[in-house]
Chains A and B, each alone.
Chain A
């Protein structure tokens, strides 16, 4: 057994047993971040904070929510919104948070794409990040089932139907997922379990992994500059903070993050108090009714682009396209054949690829909500084809890219 001296302070006592001083040094005070970054590098911590808000508000909602097809709707819309003190506040925070978290995720992802932060040692950051994207998607979808409104029911119906695999007609699988022929009690209870237990656990695990994958390659910087972190850290510790290219995570990087978070929270709570409707679809305030199909069934805005990739094609082709679109971003580090880690603006054709991809995803998102008729269908089809064309072009144009 190790030898323990009498500790003179709580800090020392903990350090003897947990090496907290080492942890603090490795994870915070000597976790070096490049100095040459902008506020987009705060998005990761903004995401972590938003997840925190979702977790806390979710715990409060969980105390009154009832996962029962008879009472779920009223437990949310009446009990929580009317009877529970500040229940409405927690619900609006949770609803707005679920929507805004995707906006920040997309900003965070496209930041990574723009600056090339997914390659040369940073592949695992990207892959764990995509894992988080998928886990958040599942979390959002399962949460959407819980109020048991019309959109819960019908979106649940439509999305689980996808698992029949088109012409494969795997209805057995669909029933297995639903626990019934149509969404019902078994369906609601299992999505409740996923939403409040399994998926949050997965997300927390993935966040830890994501942070872990950042530690060795360090985060990228605005110029994609590759420099010697040891050397920069030595300069900093010697007091040459002006010459050094790095800053410590704590307190210097955090000081800026916290300011960015403050501004973000102003916007966030503005939405919570004055503009929450965008995050809570009106159709879901009609109770679930299996006999009455809503006029328009569409997913929440953050799924629209992939939904639109499903829609314009024939049944089987649409499903295949949809399945590929779901996972293709995982492949980014391997389809980008260029060695360059630099902002897209300096990377020749990739610059156009980046903006084309961003605008294409935006167009797909617009079309995904519109009724699939006439000109919208045509635009949707073109945008979906462009999406795949861009992915096919990626390895070709990046292979030809000049080395910087």
Chain B
């Protein structure tokens, strides 16, 4: 018995060393280490101004012209163009801003309004000096203190943001204009409806393809479908990549979307729902199966003792 345990120890040690070598150690060597900022956006300075939501609303729908490009369902402001047309005009469909106050970090939003290409970390693609303007025009101020005005806009976006936002909404607003999720039945044009006629279905598919062509031209490539990305990348990769795509793929055209920590968690929860849907079921069934085999082993041990009685 003693000897068997010793042998088991040797086998176990070799097995663990083997595992360590081909998994944690190999991965630590294969991927460069990137430190995240935990969605704090400490590089962007806060102006310290307290915003006024009422004034913010006037700016958003007036001087700042946000609603000239974006829809805001929360205040019944429809998008000025449908997704296809917007795609054709800007390369990408400007997202609805109803949830922006919850989805994005406040400091990031302030920076975005002031200088989109800088906040989104795509200055390598957009350089006003070379006449390459970001499709979202920057806010030059409405005549007063620009920092105060920006604080007002952010305060307004926060005031309309829903207390509860579904994981799917978070994905749709933050990533959906670029990424499809076919397991979640989402295309860049939103949730794919059920069609009664094949003709309508094909029309919808054509609209998606046309949108994707514009998006490809804008981004340089079609952003990948994110259905199962949760299993294709490590959690650490996703976290640091979404926070700052340049940290993992230098030169990439994907913007730093500026998610708040809460927004990030919602997006991840959605990706987990579509890419790893068995997670809850595993948690339920796992303990039962393990208990079964523990009992099985206990009984097998008693049987073995009984059968080996008198052998030694």
A78 CB contacts on chain B under 8 angstroms:
182-183, 227
A269 CB contacts on chain B under 8 angstroms:
286, 289-290, 293
**In this assembly, does B23 line the interface, its C-beta being within 8 Å of a C-beta of chain A?**
yes
B162 CB contacts on chain A under 8 angstroms:
none
The answer to whether A304 touches B300 (Cβ under 8 A) is no
**In this assembly, does B8 line the interface, its C-beta being within 8 Å of a C-beta of chain A?**
yes
The answer to whether A273 touches B282 (Cβ under 8 A) is yes
Given contacts A282-B232, A362-B14, contact A370 B227 (CB under 8 A): no
A369 CB contacts on chain B under 8 angstroms:
21-22, 26, 30
Q: Name the segment of A21-29, A34-42, A64-72, A327-335 touching the other chain.
A: A34-42
**In this assembly, does B129 line the interface, its C-beta being within 8 Å of a C-beta of chain A?**
no
Binary interface encoding of chain A residues 253-265 relative to chain B, with 1 for a CB under 8 A from any of its CBs, else 0: 0011011011101
The answer to whether B290 touches A262 (Cβ under 8 A) is no
**In this assembly, does A283 line the interface, its C-beta being within 8 Å of a C-beta of chain B?**
yes
Q: Name the segment of B67-75, B99-107, B302-310 touching the other chain.
A: B302-310
A259 CB contacts on chain B under 8 angstroms:
297, 300-301, 303-304
In the complex, A362 Cα to B25 Cα: how many Å?
13
Of the residues B30, B278, B289, B308, contact of A371 by C-beta under 8 Å: B30
In the complex, A8 Cα to B187 Cα: how many Å?
70
Binary interface encoding of chain B residues 261-295 relative to chain A, with 1 for a CB under 8 A from any of its CBs, else 0: 00000000000000101100110011001100110
**In this assembly, does A10 line the interface, its C-beta being within 8 Å of a C-beta of chain B?**
no
Given contacts A88-B278, A365-B22, A370-B26, contact A39 B8 (CB under 8 A): yes
**In this assembly, does B198 line the interface, its C-beta being within 8 Å of a C-beta of chain A?**
no
In the complex, A365 Cα to B229 Cα: how many Å?
28
The answer to whether B4 touches A247 (Cβ under 8 A) is no
The answer to whether B21 touches A366 (Cβ under 8 A) is yes
B289 CB contacts on chain A under 8 angstroms:
269, 272-273
Interface residues on A, range: 35 or more
Residue of A nearest to B309 (CB): A241
The answer to whether A88 touches B282 (Cβ under 8 A) is yes
In the complex, A126 Cα to B77 Cα: how many Å?
77
B312 CB contacts on chain A under 8 angstroms:
35, 242
Chain A residues 74-91 with CB under 8 Å of chain B are: 74, 77-78, 81-82, 88-89
Binary interface encoding of chain B residues 1-35 relative to chain A, with 1 for a CB under 8 A from any of its CBs, else 0: 00110011001001101110111011001100000
**In this assembly, does A266 line the interface, its C-beta being within 8 Å of a C-beta of chain B?**
yes
**In this assembly, does A107 line the interface, its C-beta being within 8 Å of a C-beta of chain B?**
yes
The answer to whether B232 touches A286 (Cβ under 8 A) is yes
From residue A90, how far is it (CB to closest CB) to chain B in Å? 11
The answer to whether B310 touches A39 (Cβ under 8 A) is no
Binary interface encoding of chain A residues 376-397 relative to chain B, with 1 for a CB under 8 A from any of its CBs, else 0: 1000000000000000000000
Name the residue among B7, B18, B23 with the largest chain A CB count within 10 angstroms: B18
A247 CB contacts on chain B under 8 angstroms:
308, 311
**In this assembly, does B76 line the interface, its C-beta being within 8 Å of a C-beta of chain A?**
no
The answer to whether A285 touches B30 (Cβ under 8 A) is no
In the complex, A210 Cα to B4 Cα: how many Å?
26
Binary interface encoding of chain A residues 10-49 relative to chain B, with 1 for a CB under 8 A from any of its CBs, else 0: 0000000000000000000000000100111000000000
From residue A155, how far is it (CB to closest CB) to chain B in Å? 16
The answer to whether A251 touches B307 (Cβ under 8 A) is yes
In the complex, A274 Cα to B23 Cα: how many Å?
16
From residue A82, how far is it (CB to closest CB) to chain B in Å? 5
In the complex, A342 Cα to B204 Cα: how many Å?
73
In the complex, A278 Cα to B18 Cα: how many Å?
12
A274 CB contacts on chain B under 8 angstroms:
282, 286
Residue of B nearest to A274 (CB): B286
Given contacts A259-B301, A269-B293, contact A252 B311 (CB under 8 A): yes
**In this assembly, does B42 line the interface, its C-beta being within 8 Å of a C-beta of chain A?**
no
In the complex, A82 Cα to B300 Cα: how many Å?
36
Binary interface encoding of chain A residues 235-252 relative to chain B, with 1 for a CB under 8 A from any of its CBs, else 0: 000000110000100011
From residue B163, how far is it (CB to closest CB) to chain A in Å? 30
The answer to whether B19 touches A278 (Cβ under 8 A) is yes
The answer to whether B281 touches A88 (Cβ under 8 A) is yes
The answer to whether A242 touches B310 (Cβ under 8 A) is yes
In the complex, A278 Cα to B312 Cα: how many Å?
41
**In this assembly, does A352 line the interface, its C-beta being within 8 Å of a C-beta of chain B?**
no
B296 CB contacts on chain A under 8 angstroms:
262, 265
**In this assembly, does A324 line the interface, its C-beta being within 8 Å of a C-beta of chain B?**
no
Chain A residues 179-208 with CB under 8 Å of chain B are: none
A215 CB contacts on chain B under 8 angstroms:
none
**In this assembly, does A399 line the interface, its C-beta being within 8 Å of a C-beta of chain B?**
no
From residue B156, how far is it (CB to closest CB) to chain A in Å? 40
8 contacts between A and B (CB under 8 A): A35-B311, A89-B278, A255-B300, A255-B307, A266-B294, A273-B282, A285-B231, A371-B30
Q: Which 7 A-B pairs have the closest CB atoms?
A: A262-B297, A273-B286, A88-B278, A285-B232, A255-B307, A366-B21, A259-B300
